[in-house]
Structure 1
Amino acid sequence: MKGLCALALLTLAAHAERIVISNDDGWAVAQIRAQFNALVEAGHDVILSAPAENQSGRGGLQIPATPLLVSCEFDSCPAGASKGNNASDPRLNWINAFPADGAQYGIQTLAPRLWNGAAPDFLVSGPNVGLNTGIALPFSGTVGAAGKAVQLGVPAVAFSGVSTAQESYNALAVTPASATVAAAKAYTTLASAFLDALFAQPAAQPAYLPAGVLLNVNLPALNDTCTPARVAWVLTRGFPVLLGNPDVVTCSNGGRLPTEGDVVNSGCYASVSVINATTKVDVGKSLQQDVLNRLVNLGLSCI
């Protein structure tokens, strides 16, 4: 099913959630700030907890937070500190460590502090600047942050998009918008629609996603012919299927899901893969079916 009109109606039915948002590109890039703004505007209670600087390619690695030797990206945080927040908004936080550390800091330290002891309902990682498909999955900090959240008991989705440029969040206020900012805002439209559908799913336990898995979502290049309203969602897998290890049967696929790389590069399609949060490889067909049932409101398409 193409189009976001039906998904937009789900916003009214979706619950307001406590969401931690992280990434691997850094806390000050336009992409994460645009997504933060969109989630807040949708009525969610959101805490941003991300690396002080670009930490792409760190996977799920973790290190202790260390004082910055110089100011971090876009001069957005001072030298000499290892953690900090926006002076006017304590919901916007950075830590001088890796993406998985940013997720953990948000879940274990910031959430109970800012939500009076309450835990997050969900973690959003990204949207990343650039795709994370196939062989990139174990090395992706975007996926690593989402995987750490799941390991800590918080369901998570990692979003990535084809756009390849990074720009400061200050560019969000500039008119006319740069190509980077336009892409960032378009991807937030898609990610927000996806989350609306996920949050409006029929009741299930555990909430939102099965334990131990994350969703890896890759968004296509957007242009005049592939707008957010035209993007179709396709259930995929990260790696080619192995013999004797069939996938869930959908779209008359005979138990063989397409790979996310093939799908997102074939046109106006977004890939949705169900990944083991620890190993970063595809899960089996029973867990794929569980997630497929939970995404009933998304309107998954065939390719």
Structure 2
Amino acid sequence: MDFIKQAFKVKHEFWRYLIGSLIIAIFALIGQVPFTIAAIMKHVAEGGSVYAVDEQRLMTILEPNLNLFLLLLSFAFGFLGLIIVVKYLHKQTMLSVTTARLKVDWKRVMFAFLFWGLISSGMIIIDYFASPENYVWNFELERFLILLVIAILLIPIQTSLEEYIFRGYLMQGFGLLAKNRWFPLLMTSVIFGGMHVFNPEVAKLGYGVMVYYIGTGLFLGILTLMDEGMELALGFHAANNLFGALLLTSDWTVLQTHSVLKDVAEPGAGFGDIIIPVFVVFPILLFIFAKVYKWTNWKDKLFGKIEEPVENDYTILD
């Protein structure tokens, strides 16, 4: 059984996915309460009015490590909501939202994590030596060690929640609704990109950067559909955010950290920032993953129809 079709085994009426998404969002909002209270208290302590709050300022008003911890805490709450929704609303296992394999392939997760972690870190280091004027040394050992603990513990939860929602839960939900594969791939990518529209990067770089976010969603969705599971997407996304948070920060990104380097160049969403990652780097990565894992039948896996299997075709996953 393939990754999307196995959701036929559970309670899969589409209204359940709508209700489930709402429940997950409520849990995530509850998780934002500590951050909101702490940020408003700091705002008021610095002479600001509780009735006139600049949301962009609230996102950076706290000490960076505390800010990061409280921001990521909401994802932990959201993940709890996801588990409850999958188990009780859909009567489904987390395994079947993760992969079509009999168990999670952690070797795939680690391969994608280390592979992209090395490449993305290497690109930052190369650019640092090529354009040193665009960076300042930001490393402070004590603060960095605190960042390291927070990042290792919570960033994988943040990235995993996003993958489970978009490349797992909603990929299956939209797939069973549309009875094809291209619609869930497109819809989850657009929604994933849309979730980033309020990031400060969009305000600074313009809406053109949405091509990058949606393109990243498409890339991760293709990984999931071609590989019949989210393992590669989980590893890639975790590496992208974790290594990025540890190595590089700037004054205009959503996560400002006590990283090793700080980007002080004037930001711009030009050719190199959008076109190259989406239309050059991601296709090359797909080619490499395809060779490593011997993917075939691209047309059917990305555009084929989804038909409910007969009962005796079901495979027990756990």
TM norm structure 2: 0.30
Question: Based on CA coordinates, which of the two structures has the bigger radius of gyration?
Answer: 2
Q: Which has the higher helix share?
A: 2
| Bigger RCO (CA 8 Å, 6+ sep) | 2
TM-score (norm 1): 0.31
Which structure: greater strand fraction? 1
